[in-house]
Amino acid sequence: MKVETHVDLSSSLSFHVPALATHYVQVDTDEDVRDALLYAQRNRLEILILGGGSNMLFHNDFQGLVIQINSKGIHVLIDDGRRLEVAVEAGEDWHEFVLKSLENGWGGLENLALIPGCVGATPMQNIGAYGVEIKDVFSWLEAIEVSTGLLKRFNLKECKLGYRESVFKRELKGEWVIVRVAYRLDRESTLKTSYGSIENEISDINKNELTHLDVANAVIKIRNQKLPNPNVLGNAGSFFKNPIVKEADFNSLKEGYPDMPHYILEGGLVKLAAGWLIETSGWKGHHRGTHGVHEHQALVLVNHGGATGQEIWSLAQDIMLSVKEKYSIQLEPEVNQISMSTT
Ligand SMILES: Cc1cc2nc3c(=O)[nH]c(=O)nc-3n(C[C@H](O)[C@H](O)[C@H](O)COP(=O)(O)OP(=O)(O)OC[C@H]3O[C@@H](n4cnc5c(N)ncnc54)[C@H](O)[C@@H]3O)c2cc1C
């Protein structure tokens, strides 16, 4: 384990904003994680866990120890010929693992293809796309406690996975380092094709011959058309969560905006489309020189080149204010805001 100082993180961040870490270390094993935590404790350093850097916005430099998870390994723990339990080290690239699972004929992850980032972050916000979330395939995860170095296994219930949520983003924020995640996969799992334009993409394939890989290829094609590639245009995917409101509030909004897209949830709640709220507040394609709102996806804020995290955050705040003024809805960022309290 080698701690480096004054490390430029920008190439590890999908937003490509400037950000230095006063201390930085890459960890490959559980023992490395414990050593890094001990180092931070002894030197009174704040810590920040970094995976693929695709769901973060640094507002400024990080005065502390950034621990980048680089552990590798995919282990089949159970295989009854149809169903499997597969444990994956936190530093594995998510999309690479999805492709590997499809190569092996393991179903369940196809709708989650091409989501950037590492395995360890997948339960953090219960990643989801095209009608599937991690909680649908989650078995357990193991994490190391920051304060004690102890390893604990968390089951599905303990992780409290919800819409872009988990216990690790709320009650246990900053307390655990996720070191591996186990998924339940199924060679014969039902294909989920009703979401978005997947059906259109697979219309040429005979329904009886449709495979998990066909669905993944459809998802990859749609995502490539719809979302900017962070290697070309800095971004962190959807910047805001889709807001969830009470049915009564939705009904009064609907009177003024009958076309408002919505999705009825259980418990008298309604999910609204943040992208629509932002677009109809006039922000789609908004340009502020170095940064702005994507021209085709109002939910995606972009760094055209040379923007700072603070500039992008300032734009995000302006958008939140304008949506609040127009619709009385408070948008919440989906992207993790990394802001040192000292500055
Ligand atoms: C173009 C694009 C498209 C996207 N599409 C989607 C999508 O469809 N659905 C979706 O849900 N998300 C999407 N995202 C967001 C992002 O890809 C996911 O949230 C991803 O899981 C983040 O992984 P990461 O390794 O990059 O996490 P990072 O950005 O490195 O970290 C995210 C958070 O998790 C914490 N963290 C990371 N690893 C660990 C660990 N091992 N232990 C403890 N804490 C940890 C970090 O401290 C941080 O708070 C998209 C992003 C981009 C850029």
Known active-site residue 101: no
Q: How far apart are CA 57 and CA 274, in angstroms?
A: 19
Choosing from 161, 196, 226, the residue where a domain stops is: 226
Number of H helices, E strands in the chain: 8, 20
Same domain, 257 and 303: yes
Does ligand 1 have an atom closer than 6 angstroms to the CB of 227? yes
Which of the listed residues 10, 28, 54, 161 should we mutate to test ligand 1's pocket, taking the one with most ligand atoms within 8 A of CB?
Answer: 54
Tell me which H or E stretch contains 216: helix 212-226
Give me the domain span that covers residue 19.
4-69
Same domain, 187 and 314: no
Q: How far apart are CA 40 and CA 153, in angstroms?
A: 23
Known active-site residue 164: yes
Known active-site residue 46: no
Same domain, 121 and 212: yes
Same domain, 217 and 146: yes
Model pTM?
A: 0.96
Per-residue pLDDT 10s for the chain (343 aa) are: 899 999 999 999 999 999 999 999 999 999 999 999 999 999 999 999 999 999 999 999 999 999 999 999 999 999 999 999 999 999 999 999 999 999 999 999 999 999 999 999 999 999 999 999 999 999 999 999 999 999 999 999 999 999 999 999 999 999 999 999 999 999 999 999 998 799 999 999 888 899 999 999 999 999 999 999 999 999 999 999 999 999 999 999 999 999 999 999 999 999 999 999 999 999 999 999 999 999 999 999 999 999 999 999 999 999 999 999 999 999 999 999 999 765 4
In a domain, 301, yes or no: yes
Same domain, 105 and 220: yes
In a domain, 290, yes or no: yes
Does ligand 1 have an atom closer than 6 angstroms to the CB of 236? yes
Please count the other Cβ atoms lying within 10 Å of the Cβ belonging to residue 247. Answer: 13
Same domain, 81 and 219: yes
CATH of the domain at 302: 3.90.78.10
Contact 150, 171 (CB under 8 A): no
CATH of the domain at 181: 3.30.465.10
In a domain, 78, yes or no: yes
Query: What is the count of structural domains for the chain?
Result: 3
Choosing from 18, 45, 69, the residue where a domain stops is: 69
In a domain, 299, yes or no: yes
User: Which atom from ligand 1 is nearest to the alpha carbon of 91?
Assistant: 41
Beta strands in the chain (DSSP E): 4-8, 20-27, 46-50, 56-58, 62-69, 74-79, 83-89, 128-129, 132-133, 138-145, 151-155, 176-186, 234-235, 244-246, 262-264, 269-272, 287-288, 291-293, 301-303, 336-338
Active-site hit among 54, 71, 166, 238: 238
User: Which atom from ligand 1 is nearest to the alpha carbon of 120?
Assistant: 41
How many Å lie between the centroid of ligand 1 and the Cα of residue 335? 8
In a domain, 343, yes or no: no
Query: Which residues make Cβ contacts (< 8 Å) with residue 341, sequence separation at least 6?
Result: none
Q: How far apart are CA 159 and CA 291, in angstroms?
A: 35
CATH of the domain at 44: 3.30.43.10
Same domain, 239 and 299: yes
